[in-house]
Each structure stands twice: as C-alpha cells, then as structure tokens.
Amino acid sequence: MMEFGITFIILACVFGLFMAWGVGANDVANAMATSVGSKALTIKQAIIIAAVFEFLGAFLAGGQVTATIRKGMIDADLMAGSPELLIYGMLAALLAAGIWLLIASRAGWPVSTTHSIVGAIVGFAAVGLGIEAVQWAKVGTIVMSWVISPVTSGAIAFFLFLSVQKLIFNTDNPLANARRYVPLYIFLVGFIVSLVTLFKGLKHIGLELTTLQSYLVAVVIGAIIMMIGIYFIRQLKFDPAADREYHFTNVEKVFGILMMATACAMAFAHGSNDVANAVGPLAAVVSIVQNDGEVTQRSMMAPWILLLGGIGIVAGLMMYGHKVIATVGQGITELTPSRGFAATLAAATTVVVASGTGLPISTTHTLVGAVLGVGMARGIAAVNMGVVRTIFMSWIVTLPAGAILAIFFFFMFKGIFGG
C-alpha cells in the first residue's frame, strides 16, 4: 500500500529542510537579538554561537517537542485504517507553514513558526480527518502555554534584574561585586540548561542517567562554564576613566562575559524548541512509512531526523540569517549587557523548560515577555508597546492562516496521490 513510500519521505525531507531553513533564516535572528543588541558579542561571534548551539539544542534537546508535533496533537488510533491521510496532512502542514512564513517574512509581519505549524496541523486534522481526530486537550495545553510562557519569562526576568540591582548595581563597589557574582550567574546558566536537557533524556545518543547523576553532571558542566567565565573576566582590562561618563561602563564589561554564556543558552533553547516545527511532521511521515503504514504512537524517532533539522537551521542562518542578525545590532541601541542578560536568560530558561516538557512555544513571544519584565523593573529606557501589541496580535492571524493553507494542500495531495 505504501507504493509512494520513498516519494513521501523525499517530499517530507525537502519540505522539512525548507521549513528548517526558514527558521534559521528568520527566527534565529530574533532569538539572538538581545545578545547582539547589547553589543556584548560581535556579529561574527553571534553567528558562530548561533550555529553551534542551535545545532546542539536541536540535536540534543529537540526530541520532546518533536514528539509533540509528530504525534501529540492527533489521535493516531483513529487513523489506523488510513495512514496515507496522516502523511498527506503532515506534508500539507509543513508546506503550509513554510509558505506562510515565507510570505510573512517578506512582508515583515512578526509571525511565529510554532504558531504556524500548530495552526496548520490542527487545521488539516480538524477538516481533513474530522474534529474528533484532534487531541483537543493537548492542543488546549499548548495554547495555554503560549499565554503562560511570556508571563513566566517576564516574571523571571523581573526578579533576575532585581537580583542584579541588589547584588551589584546598588552596592558601594559595583565592580567588585560584579566580579564576585557574575561567575555565579554564569554557573546558573550552565546548570539550568544542562539539567533540563539531561532530565528530558539523551537516550537517542545513548546516554541514560539517574536523577542524581543528572544533577551531578549539571553541576560539573555549570562549574566548567563558570571557570571559563572566570578566566575571561580575569583577562578583562578595566579603565577607571571610562566610568566618568557612564558610571557602570566597567561593570557592563563583566556582564559582557556573562552575556556570551547566556547567548549560547538562548541559541540552544531556540534550537531545542523550534527545530521541532520543521522536523516533527517529517518524523511523523518517516515513522509511518517505515512501519509499513502502521500508525504507531510508540516508535522511537531516528536521530538523523533531528540532525537534518539542525543542518537546515544552520544552513538558513549561514545563507540568509546572518544578514538579519547584522541589522539587529544596529537596531537596538539601548540595551546594556546587564539588561540583555536578564531578558535573555529568563527567555532561555522558560524555553528550555518548555522544550523539556514537550511544549512547542514561541521563542519570540517568550523573549518579548522577558524584555517587558526588565522594563517593569524600570530597567529599560523605552519599550515600544505598539510593537509588543503587533507581535502578540500576529498569532491570532497566524493560526487560521496556517490552517487554511494546510487544508488546501491536504486536499491537493489527496488529489495527487489518491486516497
């Protein structure tokens, strides 16, 4: 019955790569915006960090969200008799989301990749397979997480920034305290990211750890990153004269080192969450074809699929995304490393936890929430609320747009391949 098996896999790979390329070309720049904008990184460093850590995030921690996109939103048992419909649907969803993102980024609309793909999958499932085929409870959880994630990251950013003020800026000797506490923040970055990643399994690369082991490994990784950070902080040259104009110039230099660690965490988090948008449907198609048409909820995903997604993202970044990142640096002039750090770490933490839970959330929205959190702590000179509104409104438009396109392509594939 799977006469078109190879064709389906090739199509899914092409569409999946196209989508991953789109994520790399457009979305990565948003994730890196606060890091590049704070001028703690050069454009070149930002691109290298993005390439390495997006890939690592996608490959090491992208599995949970991919599983959700692949099989969490559709009741596969209902599809047992007609697996080809699921294949058409997943191909349609990929194509729809990819095309919608292309249109939107051409027009400059702030749309979310996650919202596009979720809208597309729910759309084709509800119309093409029937309302009851959609796991509404799960979809409800996902939509809830879109509301909760910006709020959570906003709250984390708020308290992070307050802690920075309390421990460093509002003390008699901010520079000494920066050198004392910044390494601890660096430890925190390494610890949180590695702990969440370890908890949610590295089975696919053959690594299984107990809870205690995970904690130990996370502490070790955090400590190693902290040592590297301390080394770089020691290398810094402080110029007391620079503090005359702006009193915290030297303190911000220390935060610059922290920002590098946070930028890595953010790229990792983004890779872990957003690669799924591209490879989730691809994984679904591959597993159905490989299981000879049997729709199964249990099968493991092949690691090469995550690898492919990672490669797609890095390719998009290299071919086009670097231009966007370069313009971001000039766009943001008011973000210092200390503020950028609070916003970025809050967003990265929220995204990485969501990735561990398998929730596909919008990295952009989470970051916007975090920036607002720093703003609430009176830490940012001007936040454009009009832009905030546009970004949040865009997901209301994106859901039906992704859905309608997916329905269209679903019936198109059904017409071509028969069913």
Q: In the complex, which residues of this chain contact other proteins (CB under 8 A)?
A: 29-30, 33-34, 37, 108, 110, 161-162, 165-166, 169-172, 246-248, 320, 323-325, 327-328, 331-336, 338-339, 364, 367-368, 371-372, 375, 377-388, 390-391
Identify which of residues 246 and 304 has a Cβ nearer to other proteins in the complex.
246
Identify which of residues 180 and 414 has a Cβ nearer to other proteins in the complex.
180
Q: How far is the CB of 381 from other proteins (least distance, A)?
A: 3
Residue 150 tokens read as: 């910006």
Q: What are phi and psi of 74, to 5 degrees?
A: -120, 135
Identify which of residues 89 and 373 has a Cβ nearer to other proteins in the complex.
373
Identify which of residues 272 and 336 has a Cβ nearer to other proteins in the complex.
336
Using an 8 Å Cβ cutoff, are 146 and 365 in contact?
Answer: yes
Identify which of residues 240 and 386 has a Cβ nearer to other proteins in the complex.
386
CA gap 23, 112 in Å, rounded:
10
Report the half-sphere exposure of 85 (CA within 13 A, side-chain side).
Answer: 19
Q: Is the dihedral of CA 272, 275, 281, 287 positive or negative?
A: negative
Q: How far is the CB of 404 from other proteins (least distance, A)?
A: 23
Between the alpha carbon of residue 178 and those of residues 107, 139, 293, 379, the distances in Å are 43, 44, 59, 17
Q: How far is the CB of 168 from other proteins (least distance, A)?
A: 9
- R_g (Cα) of the chain, nearest Å: 22
Q: How far is the CB of 339 from other proteins (least distance, A)?
A: 8
* Residue closest to 410 by CA, chosen among 32, 105, 58, 88: 88
CA gap 332, 191 in Å, rounded:
29
Identify which of residues 120 and 335 has a Cβ nearer to other proteins in the complex.
335
Q: How far is the CB of 46 from other proteins (least distance, A)?
A: 12
Dmax (CA) for the chain in angstroms is: 76
Give the CA dihedral 88, 91, 93, 98, nearest 10 degrees.
Answer: -160
Identify which of residues 29 and 92 has a Cβ nearer to other proteins in the complex.
29
Q: How far is the CB of 252 from other proteins (least distance, A)?
A: 8
Strand partners, 202: 207
SS3 40: coil
**Residue the block writes with tokens 């008799």:** 81
Q: How far is the CB of 69 from other proteins (least distance, A)?
A: 23
